Copies of this chain bind each other. A is one copy, B any other.
């Protein structure tokens, strides 16, 4: 089975919003053995929607559509589909009752425009939406099965799992399995050269690389008639990739660096605290992205102004004046003070120049000092390193936080 994904919305073709649904849907479909041929994005234009749905229904057996089911005048997907199947829109009384209940339960006023969300092209089926007011649609166009979900990711995802996923599981024969292995610290070309023959285009499983915000991921796609075979070949290729890349590999799939660090801290029953200047909370926020972080994350200091470095963290003002706020000495002192005050087993301290202003020939934008403090008998043992990170302000801050996490990860690996 092959799928085409259609995203609908002026905000998409005008570039005012980024389409994240197509990526999520493709990933889930691939896991279920359905290959996505293409993503297609069209504006809130009835003729364009009709044309896209007709074309997609000719090219693929499964068409997944997101967007255009909202309560406002620019939501035209329902009307377009009615035209595609040449059927009138009829009111679904039970869907209307559900929408009314949704509003009642939340003490919100239902507007007249919400009523049109209970309309369905005759012959089609409305799909329950547990998270919002817009029901989805399911209908048949020619030989294709068409599913329509709201564009809001938090509503679309559970609806996919409830309606579409079970249908596919029952129908497909072929097994396409994918796996993503994430590395930190090596460039993409180095990863490519290290993997060498493993990346030949004729291979099955097929191995490729992608980069996102400092993380080079190796993706593997295994395509075989049975899932047992696909799984065995995928495991074998994954093992070969991991052996070649060693400790640069930090996780698989969507497991972030922060999650890996959290798990290691949890296993070793260690705690961590932060002291951030240039990243100003980015690292602490990353460390607490995953639920359960309270088991090992204590807290931290955001010392953006130099005065706060001194007054709240105890970094001597004369040290800052003498060495500069972005210096090894200040990074080390931040780590020591934060370690003493928080009594955490580990401390990560960062001070740098995120840009675009503030750089100098000796300390260009992207210069970041990172200190890793480790509680030891008689105080905090600190290792500090200087990095020159590339990218804009946001990227420098994100990379700095990830580089700090990676320093901690590598130290935790020694201990485990």
Interface residues of A (CB under 8 A from B): 7, 9-20, 22-30, 35-42, 44, 48, 52, 70-74, 76, 108, 111, 113-114, 152, 154, 178, 180, 187-190, 192-193, 199-201, 206, 208-212, 217, 219, 221, 273-274, 276, 279-285, 287-289, 291-294, 297-305, 307-308, 311-312, 341-342, 355-357, 391-395, 397
Report Cα–Cα, A394/B293, bound state, in Å. 13
Report Cα–Cα, A195/B236, bound state, in Å. 58
Whether A189 lies near B111 (C-beta < 8 A) is yes
**Which one of B17, B114, B292 lies within 8 Å of A210 (CB-CB)?**
B17
Whether A14 lies near B38 (C-beta < 8 A) is no
Whether A22 lies near B26 (C-beta < 8 A) is no
Q: A16-B219, A19-B22, A192-B72 are in contact. Are A299 and B308 (CB under 8 A)?
A: yes
Q: A280-B285, A394-B289, A395-B154 are in contact. Are A14 and B41 (CB under 8 A)?
A: no
Q: A72-B209, A192-B72, A300-B281 are in contact. Are A14 and B108 (CB under 8 A)?
A: no
**Which one of B13, B302, B393 lies within 8 Å of A37 (CB-CB)?**
B13
Interchain nearest-CB distance for A189 vs B (Å):
5
For A76, list chain B residues within 8 Å (CB). 201
Report Cα–Cα, A13/B22, bound state, in Å. 8
A388 to chain B: closest residue by CB: B106
Whether B299 lies near A208 (C-beta < 8 A) is no
Whether A299 lies near B312 (C-beta < 8 A) is yes
Whether A312 lies near B341 (C-beta < 8 A) is yes
Q: A74-B209, A199-B72, A280-B297 are in contact. Are A36 and B13 (CB under 8 A)?
A: yes
Report Cα–Cα, A201/B282, bound state, in Å. 42
Whether B16 lies near A193 (C-beta < 8 A) is no
Report Cα–Cα, A289/B26, bound state, in Å. 31
Report Cα–Cα, A36/B40, bound state, in Å. 12
Question: How many copies of this chain sit in the oligomeric assembly?
Answer: 2
Report Cα–Cα, A211/B152, bound state, in Å. 8
Whether B70 lies near A188 (C-beta < 8 A) is yes
Whether A154 lies near B392 (C-beta < 8 A) is yes
Whether A208 lies near B23 (C-beta < 8 A) is no
Whether A71 lies near B13 (C-beta < 8 A) is no
For A342, list chain B residues within 8 Å (CB). 308, 312
Whether B291 lies near A356 (C-beta < 8 A) is yes
A sample of 6 inter-chain contacts (CB < 8 A) reads A14-B219, A289-B393, A294-B305, A299-B302, A299-B308, A308-B342
Q: A189-B72, A294-B304, A312-B341 are in contact. Are A23 and B27 (CB under 8 A)?
A: no
Report Cα–Cα, A4/B100, bound state, in Å. 41
Interchain nearest-CB distance for A149 vs B (Å):
15
A70 to chain B: closest residue by CB: B188
For A48, list chain B residues within 8 Å (CB). 37-38
Q: A14-B26, A297-B280 are in contact. Are A41 and B39 (CB under 8 A)?
A: yes
A10 to chain B: closest residue by CB: B208
Interchain nearest-CB distance for A200 vs B (Å):
7
For A24, list chain B residues within 8 Å (CB). 15
Report Cα–Cα, A248/B270, bound state, in Å. 45
Report Cα–Cα, A48/B38, bound state, in Å. 9
Chain B CB within 10 Å, residue with most, of A39, A287, A293, A311: A39
Report Cα–Cα, A16/B187, bound state, in Å. 19
Interchain nearest-CB distance for A120 vs B (Å):
20
A180 to chain B: closest residue by CB: B16
A30 to chain B: closest residue by CB: B14
For A206, list chain B residues within 8 Å (CB). 10, 74
